[in-house]
Structure 1
């Protein structure tokens, strides 16, 4: 049934609410979007067993509409049924705006919006992109680009989390520049404990150097590169401790990789109090092959912890190299050198941490994210449908 109260109806679709940036941003918006102006409903599939469930981790009471088959796996029969369920839901809810996240949900959601014939404006968010970082073989990469080009023709707005991601997508011929809107992430970290309390909670020595990895243990995050950098650090700083906060399909591989360094590592799994990990660390190390605008680096900055990271995706938009952290190429040795530099110079690390706190708090607060998103929704609702994307597929 249509909502009779005149609010802007938004149907948000994400494949699954696994622990990670997209789910965190979706949750932040749902908690703060003006309910007097927007009727926003979330449609999602189920989280795979190897992944952390963001809703369960936070004991969230958020109401979601489950769509079987919308999860991570690509299975034609299940995907087709998910598409039909989305079409049915759209015809019932009649959203003014269909807002999709992640590749699979973006494809099914935009196709469903076209088939439903409700005249909904279509927005898709690229939280990163799959053009780099070894996601695909060359043939699959070409198929992905071909698919996204055609889906862009069904889209009124394409949202990216950073300017670099936008520029890369445009260079690949995905959409037109006027379709794009850059809306950086926004979040709010929980209360940050003091260093001693954080280390006590995580059973870490109070006086040892500590390096943290926070994120999914999956190939694109390159936990193997993290372990190689850790091994290089330990050769010169044997008292260092390494904390891994996260889980994923490479968990057992990581456990095997640290067998001869076990005493120097703490594997925490997923934790809801991630601010405790940042507070306990002297450095947060990110070793990814590819990223959009990773929330881990924003959270670390808000906690006042300097970071060392690979220079990929939109990371240079978050980390001001030499000011709030240090950026490197994809070489584990270079990452280790940067890490050792910060661990060996507490004054430099403290100065960078303070700069990171100021920068991330002012630029990536959740209030800004909400305001940007509300403004996007209003602009889409105000514009006549045929004026949104001239030349797009109706």
Structure 2
């Protein structure tokens, strides 16, 4: 089988990390080719693995009709050149244009929705723009992988496609030897790994840290993005600059997690966050906003869920963990157990390949 993988942007992120895990998992037994809209982290990582990379120059995130039309033609030309057995697309724009191009030349397609753009917490304008485009893309006849049961139910609610074409495959990540050395820090370290963008809720976390008063702790914020300057300004407004470290984009996230005590993910909406999987793999307890598929990862044994935007609940959850080393340790251990059972990369690869086979079998029956 020859698999073509397509995504809109090459910047580091959850969907991009997922694509890399897929490539690592399937290139040993299947041929893989890859295309993306720009150069960047993911393109470099894929090339380093010896996989062919094609840049689709007109594939961009914003809606630009003339440019989108050109991108669709470029994707079609790439597919005609590569002649894959199946196209697997990721991210909304690549998902739409890629599936249209694949339908035109009769290439079976699978789309992974890394969290729907019309999820709870999204603006009404965003929903009005994205639901019709997702519905249209699904009419191309391909299968859809949802990364959580939450997202599958959301797709059913909006009648995106038939139940037989909707599959749930939880994200999975490869293992590393690094583990958190809980309570080894002289001052407890709270870490959040996330882009400074509208999806994430750094502001609520920062206000929670300020609300915790004299509770000793240090917050490390890993990531970059368009809202970074706003977060830095809020830190000074709250007078917590001595407690907060802005770490920037890092390639040593596993090491940073190993030197943390608690992982936090404050968000407005999510799919199934890979950053939480990384924390569970490291053996960290997790405090997270109860949005999207997060509750499928975090339960009362592995961490604490709080309401979206609930500053007081977030502060209380952090104080509860930091004040109870035994609870902190047990939740971290249970999170590690849950990772080993359900969220290894090998499990995700096996289930994804099963979806490929289902899609190809349906396509053969149609012929």
TM, length-normalised to structure 1: 0.87
For residues 18 and 121 of structure 1, the distance between their equivalents in structure 2, rounded to whole angstroms, comes to: 27
| Kept in 2: contact 1:58–1:272 (CA 8 A) | no
1:28 correspondence with 2:21: yes
1:39 to 31, 39, 64: 31
| Kept in 1: contact 2:108–2:363 (CA 8 A) | no
For residues 39 and 56 of structure 1, the distance between their equivalents in structure 2, rounded to whole angstroms, comes to: 18
For residues 198 and 45 of structure 2, the distance between their equivalents in structure 1, rounded to whole angstroms, comes to: 22
Assess, with a 3 A threshold, how the Cα gap between structure 1 residues 120 and 73 changes in structure 2: closer, same or farther.
same
Q: Which whole-Å deviations, capped at 9, do the CAs of 1:288-318 have from their partners, x for residues lacking one?
A: 0100100111111111100111111111111
| Kept in 2: contact 1:187–1:365 (CA 8 A) | yes
Partner residue, 1:202: none
How do 1:1-394 and structure 2 match up within 5 A?
Answer: 8-36=1-29, 38-46=30-38, 53-55=41-43, 60-61=48-49, 62-115=51-104, 117=105, 119-136=106-123, 138-192=124-178, 195=181, 206-233=185-212, 235-237=213-215, 239-259=216-236, 260-320=239-299, 322-330=300-308, 331-385=310-364, 387=366
Q: Which whole-Å deviations, capped at 9, do the CAs of 1:299-343 have from their partners, x for residues lacking one?
A: 1111110011111111111112x2000001121111111111000
| Kept in 1: contact 2:43–2:53 (CA 8 A) | no
For residues 384 and 78 of structure 1, the distance between their equivalents in structure 2, rounded to whole angstroms, comes to: 30
For residues 267 and 178 of structure 1, the distance between their equivalents in structure 2, rounded to whole angstroms, comes to: 45
| Kept in 1: contact 2:170–2:348 (CA 8 A) | yes
Deviation at 1:383, TM superposition (A): 3.6
For residues 386 and 19 of structure 1, the distance between their equivalents in structure 2, rounded to whole angstroms, comes to: 39
For residues 192 and 345 of structure 1, the distance between their equivalents in structure 2, rounded to whole angstroms, comes to: 23
SS in 2 for 1:85: helix
| Kept in 1: contact 2:135–2:160 (CA 8 A) | yes
Deviation at 1:22, TM superposition (A): 0.9
Assess, with a 3 A threshold, how the Cα gap between structure 1 residues 189 and 268 changes in structure 2: closer, same or farther.
farther
Unmatched tracts of structure 2, length 5 or more: none
For residues 23 and 271 of structure 1, the distance between their equivalents in structure 2, rounded to whole angstroms, comes to: 15
SS in 1 for 2:199: helix
- Count of equivalent residues: 363
SS in 1 for 2:248: coil
| Kept in 1: contact 2:180–2:260 (CA 8 A) | no
| Kept in 1: contact 2:110–2:356 (CA 8 A) | no
For residues 352 and 194 of structure 1, the distance between their equivalents in structure 2, rounded to whole angstroms, comes to: 12
Q: Which whole-Å deviations, capped at 9, do the CAs of 1:327-373 have from their partners, x for residues lacking one?
A: 01121111111111000000011011000100112110011111112
